[in-house]
Amino acid sequence: MQIRRVVVTGIGTINPLGNNVPDFFKSLDEGKSGASPITRFDCTLFKTQFACQVPDFDIRNFGFTTKDANKTDRYTQLALVAAREAVADSAMDLETVNKDRIGVVVSSGVGGLESILREAEDYNPAEGPRYSPFLIPKIITDIAAGQISIQYGFRGPNFALTAACSTSAVSIAIGTQLIQTGRADAMVVGGSEAPIWDAGVGGFNSMRALSTRNDDPAAASRPFDKGRDGFVMAEGAGVLILEDYEHAVARGAKIYAEVAGCGLTGDAYHLTSPDPSGAGAMMAMRLALEEAGLKPADVDHINTHGTSTHHGDIAEVNAIKAVFGSDASKPAINSTKSMTGHLLGAAGAVEAIACIHSMLDGIVPPTINFTEEDPEIDYSLNFVFNKAVRREVNVAMSNSFGFGGHNATLILKKI
């Protein structure tokens, strides 16, 4: 079987730093934090009282109807907005393209969390079950993919998958494989998440995973800094249009980058903690490089998983050092989660889009909020702290690691 090349021909996002790709890129370059006090529910009694929210979001402001709003959870609404931008950006002729050959893998880590919690809160046993007929379609994690498929009539492979915080990176990898093996000509891929509700914040608080820096939310996400005390929860969506290279060239599409390599592994170690040896992360990076036919020295930029948790940041740095060896100080290393917060299942797709920005515009956004070195982290690596740097990026690596030991590494390359 001839393995086909896969390229990115469209991108779309809505996240705490912007309602579209240009605004997102601008905020990244400015080192803007998306963190602010939570407004979506009363969090007075919660240990964490802030998050990275999409401000004033209403799907009806993006060309969708009230009926669309009533039938969908917030996570699906965010996915529909990002997909609309990505499809439009691809300039695909929806009247003539073969929709049987276009699929959708847009996924979520937790799905319609808010919808199920709202319905549970409204349930009164004395009155009997009175649930919305839209409840199940609103909460399932595959419905964003289904809604996007319906919106555009895409009849190719259509599903979602869940791999915790690696969800959308794995979705990109699987979409890539479907095109590589000839099962589709194009795929709409990515992820969406809307976890900022009481049980979402409360659950992560109970795990001691979230920052509690309530006095200064904008400075709370601080990957690789000694003072980091957990991640900042975020919401949003990222969607990419992947396409067979020959198919894209034949229709004169603009090409952002090639998805050159994908590495997927499991830690087989712990429910929530990363393997301190970094073995799974190392293997994911090595597999992605091998598939891309590249050496560590070829990588110009790494957008790390970099969540701002104590053990996670250390394990990832050690894994990078082990994989890159004497070339470990070459790639410019950042964590855009310092600005966006942690988008959970949507993180990998949004960060892949950030990598495309670095390749397209020759700029590596900073890891903000860095003030103090941690003796457990090797700062001889080429970290980009607090201020963006100009740099030619021909090859970018993006890491995503999730609860359950799910590891995903993507390598994007200029054509």
Query: Residue 160 is encoded by which pair of tokens?
Result: 């979602």
C-alpha distances (whole Å) from 209 to each of 90, 230, 307, 342 are 38, 5, 10, 11
- CA-CA-CA-CA torsion sign (351, 355, 360, 363): positive
pLDDT tens sequence across 388-411: 999 999 999 999 999 999 999 999
pTM above threshold 0.85 = yes
Beta strand 257-266 pairing with 301-303: unpaired
Give the pLDDT score at 216: 98
Please answer whether residues 86 and 244 qualify as being in contact, where contact means their C-beta atoms are separated by less than 8 angstroms.
no
pLDDT tens sequence across 280-328: 999 999 999 999 999 999 999 999 999 999 999 999 999 999 999 999 9
Give the pLDDT score at 169: 98
Please answer whether residues 173 and 410 qualify as being in contact, where contact means their C-beta atoms are separated by less than 8 angstroms.
yes
Strands (E), 198-245: 236-244
pLDDT tens sequence across 173-211: 999 999 999 999 999 999 999 999 999 999 999 999 999
Q: If you search the block for the tokens 């009155």, which residue do you land on?
A: 127
H or E element that contains 247? helix 245-250
pLDDT tens sequence across 202-241: 999 999 999 999 999 999 999 999 999 999 999 999 999 9
C-alpha distances (whole Å) from 222 to each of 85, 111, 211, 344 are 30, 27, 10, 17
Coil, helix or strand for 255? Answer: coil
Of the candidates 286, 268, 266, which has an alpha carbon nearest to the alpha carbon of residue 163? 266
**What is Dmax (Cα atoms) for the chain?**
68
Please answer whether residues 53 and 196 qualify as being in contact, where contact means their C-beta atoms are separated by less than 8 angstroms.
yes
H or E element that contains 186? strand 186-193
Catalytic residue numbers read 165, 305, 342
Q: If you search the block for the tokens 């991108």, which residue do you land on?
A: 11
